Chain A
């Protein structure tokens, strides 16, 4: 890295490293890399204050391609490394780039606890529903019945919904976007970057080699408008090519209804409220899936709560005010001590 940078003068090029990008041609990861490199200079943060931390997998090659600080860590442990970094250096913008295998299989534990603590991390999960780097074994998001190298008769493991898992773990920002919609992805990533606290973004990402077409139903231009629900804060849940379908609640059961004459009016529909303190609506949306419901894309939840590092700093400041700064020597010789004779 060259000289310290002035945030306002940075461009996308300043965030492109000199490494050859080694993903398969056609991979959705390129789209995510391009959008994140484009987003960085818009945030007003000096380049030396960014850190990209990853684990293992195709997605985890990300730090090599960012001209920022970063670490290609150990499998599934990126949230732990990133949490430590954020605690030690709270002024940094710390990003975790992970995948469905890295975050939800071997790293499931670290993933949920980072969000439970509301550490101010941006966790971007590239979900291709397959193990790509190891050439095509099923992952925790592979769909039921899916035939892979390790499920030759079809997958009987029920897939995780990463969004539902993040909400369940208490993430204060949860969103979902898709690799082939550049404008939508840019908007969602910007929102995540600006959030204070754990920000989780699931990106549907096509693996062109081992799981090609996994998201055709919501990306193919001829059918996508009827298959996806674009979430907008403060607006009713409406979807379809002609915006003629909506989501209505019958008790606690959601249903798809037609809008218009002799049908429901927009006033009958559920309003999206990403800032609701209660995560019920967001969780309910996280359960929507094909074929009965449109797949929601956008921000499910965005609430401001004290972050882990804010509370940690406060904890230390309070203790110092109460007891003074203290020394390591005094600490070692306090409490229960023994003399070995």
Chain B
């Protein structure tokens, strides 16, 4: 079975992108003789030394006249394994818009770099956009290797350079391939000139890169697109037929599944799944277009979302998104109004806030920015007139993406990737229920002991000991270890400042709940930022719960010498970035309840000091 792979290409002008695509088409025999003849003729007329394969892909007249690619163009080629759709996007600085457009659905991004020029500002821009759009696989082709004497050193140098930047981005799969698009080396076939390169040639890589698991098969999401009601007066079977047509946006639906319809919240079961034309299907997954019928007669219309009761998207009107601004005729400013299109919904919205504008070369956040111009990217907060039903973009590209349409011109003026947002009903409409059992009636009073310090400082060792001693003493205690929680509760978080903040907030909330239930929460978490920790303390104090901050103050060089997980070594080697103590700050507590230093003895001696806080 041949699979569809969507590829987005980007490169600066003259890096050889058109030539490379022409080469892929030509060498995979997807070029027809008449196209080739036309190109050969034009090449000759222009006095080109080689047949200019770039001419195969330069579409519009304006491009031919200016000799540059000006818009997104789509190309197709197929091998027995895969059919490829190339979204060919130009590399001009002013055309970030086009790359975003061509790359929005890509499985693989292919970035070209001219071996002579190395990593340019634009290469970084392309890598950034690929990461922003959540393209799962990034292939960097270092082109024109013939012009640098097929130099391995040059290739390695470019690779290191690129990697250094990509590390700051969310890029999961990064591959480098040296090629000569003009001569064909390493595009389809292995090249003798590049015998030091032991990876696969480009086409081979594209044919084999594993894309099936990039899809979200977990969160079942079905945005209702169209309600099919034949209302046939003659056919009684059809008279009451009501099918919900749409394209699965995530997860797997099976006949018999219990489902909930949002935003109404009605539940029902999937009666039947039909493919196009009425074929009966056992199950449906993204991106299949199907029609569902449900066992109950409930009112459902376009824009509703069918999902599973125990795995729901957010329903809310306050949406945080990274947006890329597309319009040259207007700017995005707080207060402007647009129509948001997201899944099958279209809803008026106001830009409440421009949180910052991002400089995509330095990744600097300009919080003073008051607008976004053409091709600029920033983080905004939108307030929609009716709720959207969404997931984070990084979790689901279908339910996490949106566009903004200017109601005055009807133009698409921005693309947005949802970062988060508030669940309308939980935070806005639901008030806190006081439990029937109040704290004085619980058998024990809980507390939170919060260990903070560098990685390798010994937090966890002491925390484990504290938990053990408490349990031995008959107290209910529970260890919340930051690393462990990142496997579950916080599996969706990274290590950027915002994610770290969220990490601390969540752990703090859980600790607080446990403490409220009468347990001693023992938390071991780097929690490098003072403000994050202070918020947790404040939350405890507001709830009348005791909170003890224990600073495990082991000097950096000692932690680094221990390096139990080998993380410092990786950080120093530049393999991971944003590592606390190396290239991310640790802010020591101003007034901790206890400071533990190496001189205070071993783990059990330290644990005793900690237990002293609780006076048990």
Q: Do A and B come from one complex?
A: no
Binding site for B on A (CB under 8 A): none
Binding site for A on B (CB under 8 A): none
